[in-house]
Amino acid sequence: MAVRRILQIDDAEDKKLLKAKARQVQLPNPHLKQLIADMFETMHAANGVGLAAPQIGLAQRLAVIYIPPEIEEREDGTQVEVAPSEEYTLINPEIIKRGEQQESDLEGCLSLPGWYGQVPRPNWVTVEFSALDGKRYRLRKVDGLLARAIQHEIDHLDGVLFTERIRDLSTLKDHRKEEQPEPANV
């Protein structure tokens, strides 16, 4: 496995690649397994929740997502895991349905480290995608962090940056000198 360089929005050459629409991945592809492992390692090294192939310079419709475990603190101070972590590999993903209601939440991006802004997105999505074996799968009415991450990563595959989704640019702020905001980078 290898940590790859993540392209940056504020670099002119990188931005050209980030703004390009990614092409479909042809399956089966024996090289994808290693690429997916590298993408997960790169995402984890950068403390991210999601990473799309264009962010590492590959114009392919491929994204990985990591949803951390849900932890609750008990009255005695101990912590208990109430939901395990989840990993998703989305090959040629396509959102086929969206919720009608919008939710605005603080969102960041590994291609613009430290910067967060309020991004409105549909409150749920249904997504279809392929697995490594070429079979198509569907996640229905996904909400919360997973829905936001799916939408963010598919935007990357379409050449759309999260900063373009922000309606009020005054919410886009560099939080590196402050305490880290609660949402993770996607």
CA separation for the pair 36, 107 (Å, rounded): 23
The reply to whether 85 falls in a domain is yes
Q: What's the pLDDT score for residue 177?
A: 76
pLDDT in tens, 69-92: 999 998 998 998 889 999 999 999
pLDDT in tens, 91-101: 999 999 999 99
Q: What's the pLDDT score for residue 82?
A: 87
Q: What's the pLDDT score for residue 186?
A: 64
pLDDT in tens, 111-151: 999 999 999 999 999 999 999 999 999 999 999 999 999 99
Least confident piece of the model among 13-22, 109-118, 168-177: 168-177
Q: Which domain holds residue 82?
A: 12-174
The reply to whether 121 falls in a domain is yes
pLDDT in tens, 8-17: 999 999 999 9
For position 58, which CATH number holds?
3.90.45.10
Q: Are 171 and 163 in contact (CB under 8 A)?
A: no
Please determine, for residue 105, whether its predicted confidence score (pLDDT) is greater than 90: yes
The percentage of residues in the chain with a pLDDT greater than 90, rounded to a whole number, is: 87
The reply to whether 108 falls in a domain is yes
The reply to whether 96 falls in a domain is yes
The reply to whether 179 falls in a domain is no
Q: How many domains does the chain have?
A: 1
The reply to whether 186 falls in a domain is no
The reply to whether 130 falls in a domain is yes
Could you tell me which residues come within 8 angstroms of residue 57 by beta carbon, excluding any fewer than 6 positions away? 4, 5, 7, 17
Pairing of strands 124-130, 136-143: antiparallel
The reply to whether 39 falls in a domain is yes
What pLDDT band is residue 184 in, cutting at 50, 70 and 90?
A: low
What pLDDT band is residue 183 in, cutting at 50, 70 and 90?
A: low
Q: Are 123 and 101 in contact (CB under 8 A)?
A: yes
Q: Which residues are catalytic?
A: 153
Please determine, for residue 179, whether its predicted confidence score (pLDDT) is greater than 70: no
Q: Average model confidence (pLDDT) for the chain? A: 94
Of residues 147 and 1, which shows the higher confidence score? 147
Task: Give, rounded to a whole angstrom, the gap between the first and last alpha carbons of the chain.
Answer: 21
Q: What's the pLDDT score for residue 44?
A: 97
